[in-house]
Amino acid sequence: MSSEANVRVRPKETEHEINEQGYFVRQKNHFTTPFGEGEGKLPVEAGRYRLIWAKGCHWSNRASIVRELLGLEDVISINLAGHGKHEQNLGWEFVFNENQSDPVLGVQFLSELYANADPEYKGRPTVPAVIDVQTGKVVNNDYVWLTNYLEKEFAPFHKAGAPDLYPAELRADIDKYNDFLFDNVNNGVYKAMFAQSIEAYNDAYEHLYTALDSIEERLAHRRFLFGDYVTDSDVRLFVTLARFDTYYFKNLGPLRNRIVDFRNIWGYARDLYAIPAFKNNTYLRDLARGNGDKSTIFIDYNTRFWDQIDYEGLWSQPHDRGAKSSNPEQKFKTRS
């Protein structure tokens, strides 16, 4: 049963995360205690945590993909949140469960779990959110490092032959490239979509496409971002690519290119989509679902066509990415 005192109206990004120049400045993550051994860290235990994510949120989508890639399904439980219909926006809700209530945590809204952890929290309750099932509290919502915790700290629980997505010899380079992806691509699309001045919009748009051009060139010479094998960086880029032509385009303004117009990026995205953990956690049709009014004369593209497009067929078209690898039959490096 939900506690009305802990159900919060979701703050709007365009009211609370815009600076004086009209730039979108994303709120900082609130629960950032790392996982690991030692004082001041979250204990790494099987069965203790529950990951809450949402189909439309790429920040959380990457955690759900990595969880499956590493075989952590029986170690960290999972649930999907969505949006229900209310007079006010009450944020993420467990709309896919009976009585709109998480069967393990017994709450209706994610904001309740945030309030359990910090009654004074005023920001947006975001996903991914890792919940301690023993206390019903959010213990980590730090999407910046969450996949890395799954890759490093949860290694004792990885399945046999799990991919090494964060190789020790590449970690510094992966971290640097992840910063680049965050600034220009992952958060770059939101900088453009939430910009409240034309200067902020143009700046974000230019950085986004400059970054995509550099990625297109990078992928001309290698199968994945760091060579022959998938790494954490590929997961982070993929989740944005999956949403670009299906959803983001509506709010990005005049597009210079779609993802399908980048030969290397588009082949790369399909190469990743063919991996079951990527496909299983990517709901293309749900992302593209139209919410417009069909009674008007001008109806947006998604409302007209989202249920007529064969997204699975489109994303499953053949590609030649394997030719760029010295090990074309193997997409992952495993731990030695």
**Residue 160, both tokens:** 């046999």
**Taking a C-beta distance cutoff of 8 angstroms, is the pair 131, 49 a contact?**
yes
Maximum separation of any 2 CA atoms in the chain, in Å: 62
Is position 57 annotated as part of the catalytic site? yes
What pairs with residue 51 in β-bridges? 78, 130
Q: Is 131 helix (H, G, I), strand (E, B) or coil?
A: strand
Marked catalytic residue, from 23, 114, 149, 190:
190
Beta strands in the chain (DSSP E): 49-53, 77-80, 129-132, 137-140
Which stretches within 8-159 are classed as H helix?
A: 13-16, 58-69, 110-117, 143-151
Whole-angstrom Cα distance, residue 239 to residue 166? Answer: 17
> Cis peptide leading into 128, omega within 30 of 0?
yes
**In whole angstroms, how far apart are CA 262 and each of 145, 147, 224?**
29, 27, 15
Helix, strand, coil percent values for the chain (each to nearest 5): 45, 10, 50
What pairs with residue 82 in β-bridges? 93
Whole-angstrom Cα distance, residue 126 to residue 61? Answer: 12
Whole-angstrom Cα distance, residue 12 to residue 97? Answer: 26
Marked catalytic residue, from 49, 57, 143, 177:
57
Q: Which residue has the tokens 């001041």?
A: 40
Whole-angstrom Cα distance, residue 46 to residue 50? Answer: 10
**Taking a C-beta distance cutoff of 8 angstroms, is the pair 145, 34 a contact?**
yes
Pairing verdict, β 77-80 and 49-53: parallel
**Taking a C-beta distance cutoff of 8 angstroms, is the pair 289, 305 a contact?**
no
Q: Where in the sequence numbering do the catalytic residues fall?
A: 57, 190
